[in-house]
Amino acid sequence: MTEQLLFWVFAILTCGGALAVVVTQNVVRMAFWLVVSLGSVAALFFLLHADFLGAAQLLIYVGGTVVLLVFGVMLTASGHTIKVQTTPAETLLGCGVGLLLLCVLVFGINSVEWSDVASRIPKAGDSAAVTDHAEDVRLESAVTSAKSDESRDKAKNAQEAVLARRQSGRTLRQLGLSFFGLRPDRNLNQEAGKPLAPGYLLPFEIISIHLLVVLVGAAYLARAKRRVTPGLEADL
Amino acid sequence: MSGPLAVLTLENYFASVLKSCADSETVAMVAFVLAALTHAALLLGLFGGLPVFYIWLERKVAGRIQDRLGPTRVGGKFGWLQTIADGIKLIQKEDLVPKDADSLVFRMAPYLAGVASFVAFMVLPVADGWVGVAAECGAFLILALMSLEVLGIILAGYSSGSKWALFGAMREAAQMVSYEIPMAICALIPLLIAGSLNLQVVGRMQSGGFWNWFIFHDPFAFFAFFCYFTVATASVKRAPFDLAEAESELVAGFHTEYSGFRWSIFFLAEYASMFAVSGIAVLLFLGGWETGSGIETVIFGGGEGSGLRSWWKDVPIRGFGLGSYIANLFAVHVFVIKASLLVTLQIWVRWTLPRLRIDQVMTTCLKYLVPISCFLFLGAVLWPLILASTNGRPVVFGNALKSVVSSGSGSAPTVARTNSEVTR
pLDDT, tens only, B211-260: 788 888 888 888 999 999 999 888 888 878 877 777 777 777 788 888 88
B117 contacts on A by Cβ (under 8 Å):
none
Cβ neighbors of B289 (< 8 A, separation 6 or more) are: B125, B126, B127, B128, B203, B331, B332, B334, B335
ipTM: 0.74
Radius of gyration of the CA atoms of chain B, in A: 23
Q: Within an 8 Å CB–CB cutoff, is residue B417 touching chain A?
A: yes
- Residues B361-384 have pLDDT tens digits of 888 888 899 899 999 999 988 888
The residue that leads in pLDDT, A82 or B287, is: B287
Task: Report the pLDDT value the prediction gives residue B69, as an integer from 0 to 100.
Answer: 84
Residue B167 above 50 pLDDT? yes
Mutation for A interface: B119, B324, B421, most A CBs within 10 A: B421
Of B175, B126, B167, nearest in space to B149 by CA = B175
Cα distance between residue B274 and residue B402, in whole Å: 31
**b/e string for A16-53 if b means 16 or more Cβ within 10 A?**
ebbebbeebebbbbbbbbbbbbbbbbbbbbbbeebbbb
Query: Alpha helix locations (H) across B21-162?
Result: 24-44, 50-65, 82-92, 103-122, 138-146, 149-159
Cα distance between residue A153 and residue A139, in whole Å: 12
CA A10 to chain B, closest CA, distance in angstroms equals: 16
Looking at the domain assignment, is residue B224 inside a domain? yes
Task: Report the pLDDT value the prediction gives residue A103, as an integer from 0 to 100.
Answer: 95
A51 contacts on B by Cβ (under 8 Å):
135-137, 141
Contact present, A59 and B149 (Cβ < 8 Å): no
Please state, in angstroms and as integers, the Cα–Cα distance from residue B127 to each residue in B15, B320, B329, B342, B384, following that order.
23, 12, 8, 18, 29
Mutation for A interface: B137, B146, B356, B362, most A CBs within 10 A: B137
- Residues B187-201 have pLDDT tens digits of 999 998 887 888 888
B140 contacts on A by Cβ (under 8 Å):
52, 55-56, 59
Task: Report the pLDDT value the prediction gives residue B378, as an integer from 0 to 100.
Answer: 92
Q: Is B333 exposed, middle or buried (0-12, 13-18, 19+ CB in 10 A)?
A: middle
DSSP tally for chain B: helices H, then strands E = 18, 0
- Choose the closest CB to A188 out of B102, B147, B421: B421
The residue that leads in pLDDT, B398 or B291, is: B291
Looking at the domain assignment, is residue B409 inside a domain? no
On the question of a cis peptide bond just before residue B98, with omega within 30 degrees of 0, the verdict is no
Q: How many beta-carbon contacts under 8 Å exist across A and B?
A: 134
The residue that leads in pLDDT, B306 or B48, is: B48
State residue A83 phi and psi, 5-degree precision: -95, 145
Number of structural domains (chain B) is 1
Q: Provide the phi-psi class of B231: left if phi over 0, else alpha when psi is between -120 and 50, else beta.
A: alpha
Cα distance between residue A175 and residue A173, in whole Å: 5
Domain boundaries, chain A: 2-111, 128-170, 172-224
Q: Is B286 exposed, middle or buried (0-12, 13-18, 19+ CB in 10 A)?
A: buried
Cα distance between residue B6 and residue B36, in whole Å: 15
Cα distance between residue B177 and residue B158, in whole Å: 17
**10 Å Cβ neighbour count for B361?**
22
- Residues B269-285 have pLDDT tens digits of 888 889 999 999 999 99
| Average pLDDT rounded to a whole number, residues B338-354 | 90
Cβ neighbors of A143 (< 8 A, separation 6 or more) are: A152, A155, A156, A159
Cα distance between residue B129 and residue B127, in whole Å: 6
Mutation for A interface: B27, B29, B117, B158, most A CBs within 10 A: B158
Q: Within an 8 Å CB–CB cutoff, is residue B122 touching chain A?
A: no
Task: Report the pLDDT value the prediction gives residue B418, as an integer from 0 to 100.
Answer: 37
Calculate the CA dihedral of residues A169, A171, A172, A177 and round it to 10 degrees: 160
Domain that holds residue B160: 24-395
The nearest alpha carbon in chain B to A160 belongs to: B421
List, as one string, the DSSP characters of A154-195.
Answer: HHHHHHHHHHHHHHTT--HHHHHHHHTT--HHHHTTPPTTSP
Integer distance in angstroms from the first to the last C-alpha of chain A? 51
CA A159 to chain B, closest CA, distance in angstroms equals: 12
- Choose the closest CB to A28 out of B100, B102, B136: B102
Predicted TM-score of the model (pTM): 0.78
Residue B46 above 80 pLDDT? yes
B312 contacts on A by Cβ (under 8 Å):
none
Task: Report the pLDDT value the prediction gives residue A62, as an integer from 0 to 100.
Answer: 84
Cα distance between residue A82 and residue A69, in whole Å: 14
Q: Within an 8 Å CB–CB cutoff, is residue B366 touching chain A?
A: no
The SS3 of residue B303 is coil
| Average pLDDT rounded to a whole number, residues B152-170 | 83
List, as one string, the DSSP characters of A95-137.
Answer: HHHHHHHHHHHHHHHHHS-HHHHHTTSPPTT--HHHHHHHHHH
* pLDDT-above-90 percentage for chain B: 9
Looking at the domain assignment, is residue B417 inside a domain? no
Contact present, A20 and A40 (Cβ < 8 Å): no
Looking at the domain assignment, is residue B276 inside a domain? yes
**10 Å Cβ neighbour count for B369?**
23
Amino acid at A131: T
Please answer yes or no on whether B170 and A71 come within 8 Å at the CB atom.
yes
Task: Report the pLDDT value the prediction gives residue B123, as an integer from 0 to 100.
Answer: 86
Fold of the domain built from segment(s) A2-111:
Four Helix Bundle (Hemerythrin (Met), subunit A) (1.20.120)
**10 Å Cβ neighbour count for A111?**
7
Cα distance between residue A190 and residue A192, in whole Å: 6
- Residues B386-396 have pLDDT tens digits of 888 887 776 66
Strand pairing partners for B127? Answer: B130
Cα distance between residue B139 and residue B10, in whole Å: 32
Mean pLDDT across chain B, nearest whole number? Answer: 78
Task: Report the pLDDT value the prediction gives residue B1, as an integer from 0 to 100.
Answer: 37
Largest Cα–Cα distance of chain B, in whole Å? Answer: 70
Show the low-confidence residues of chain A (pLDDT under 50).
124-130
- Residues B96-145 have pLDDT tens digits of 888 877 788 888 888 888 888 888 888 888 887 777 777 778 888 898 88
Cβ neighbors of B268 (< 8 A, separation 6 or more) are: B47, B48, B51, B114, B117
Q: Which regions of B118-215 does DSSP assign to beta strands (E)?
A: none
Strand pairing partners for A26? Answer: A83
